[in-house]
Structure 1
């Protein structure tokens, strides 16, 4: 057995185990951790298929951002496990039917085989600016296509994502009333006569009469 075949079986076994534990773990934090393990093993399978760009994106985007965010959200929320598992057995037959259909489809694809699919190639042929055909890696070829032929769609997508990010920040931004932050613009516009205001407060009670002078001691 070749080394790549051994790694494929290793990654596949761990991936199946992690995916099974995602749906059977009682603790949601454990389920998220097993999902992170499943994504890492899927990235290893992508590397074996010589699709290093997809493997790197899977690790950076899902493991580095999405799954960590899910983990913090699950740990911060007070999730009641009993209420989550109330309808498990009620929906179990439907889950079995859907899982069986997916399993039959995968079995049909595997039994048919991939005879028409060529073996993955680590190098791709692209045409450079001088019109010459050169062989580069898949990641470099994808980058050259994105920033040459598909430059306008990439820029449009970047602008849309930027607008969505700014809109999300603007919608969730709230001014706190208990904040002690000082606006520098208000400090600059302040005037001397506005720093202190004299207010006439009416008297609430009559003034007391002045005390009588003490009698002078008699001289001897």
Structure 2
């Protein structure tokens, strides 16, 4: 009874917060509703026994991605009038894409029910050992059977991050460069200067 109530509670809040995320006028409010949707989706994952995915939703999506979105939205100077004008301008294109995706979804469901599509059947090789949790089983697969693929994915992400930094890095010309060797070799008599300013004229820097 409690599981059923929790399922409907999490499901309703997930759908409602996802809809409000799309319909909210303020981008900051949209990000906050998106975080609520992630938390409720994590609750649904816990109910089905996928605690590892629930942990990923909370740590990765809420703790990193959504917070990053929130910081970026709050730091940018967003013109809401221009944003709404762009939304109205691109509304026909968005509706066309939505109709295409809906047609693909209906076609896929129809093909599956007609028997034209056959989903893969687990062969039991990746089955979790008896007495181990999902996290332990996923860790054994990730760092055992799929170790090289996991390391390759990490290298690709690292190269992409370094490439993005190199492409976007621009040397600043409005800031004077810092000479560390000159600062270390500076003597005390060169660092400070004693002046006697006249009354009412202050100190010139």
- Give TM-score scaled by structure 1 length: 0.64
Asked if structure 1 preserves the Cα contact closer than 8 Å seen for 2:128 and 2:134, the reply is: no
The within-5 A match list for 1:164-175 is 164-171=160-167, 172=169, 174-175=171-172
The alpha-carbon deviation at position 101 of structure 1 amounts to 3.2
Three-state SS of the structure 2 residue aligned to 1:35 is helix
The alpha-carbon deviation at position 75 of structure 1 amounts to 1.0
Larger Rg: 1
- Comparing both structures, which one devotes a greater share of its residues to helix? 2
Query: Among 174, 181, 191, which residue is 2:178 paired with?
Result: 181
Change beyond 3 A, Cα 1:178–1:18:
same
- Give TM-score scaled by structure 2 length: 0.68
State the number of aligned residues: 172
Give the aligned partner of residue 23 of structure 1: 22
The alpha-carbon deviation at position 92 of structure 1 amounts to 5.2
- Comparing both structures, which one devotes a greater share of its residues to strand? 1
Describe the superposition over 1:156-212 as per-residue Cα deviations: whole angstroms up to 9, x where unpaired: 11222222222333332535552453334x678x8xxxxxxxxxxxxxxxxxxxxxx
The within-5 A match list for 1:11-90 is 11-86=10-85, 88=87
Unaligned runs of 5+ in 2: 114-118, 120-126, 186-205
State which drifts further: 137-146 or 159-168: 159-168
Unaligned runs of 5+ in 1: 117-123, 127-133, 191-220
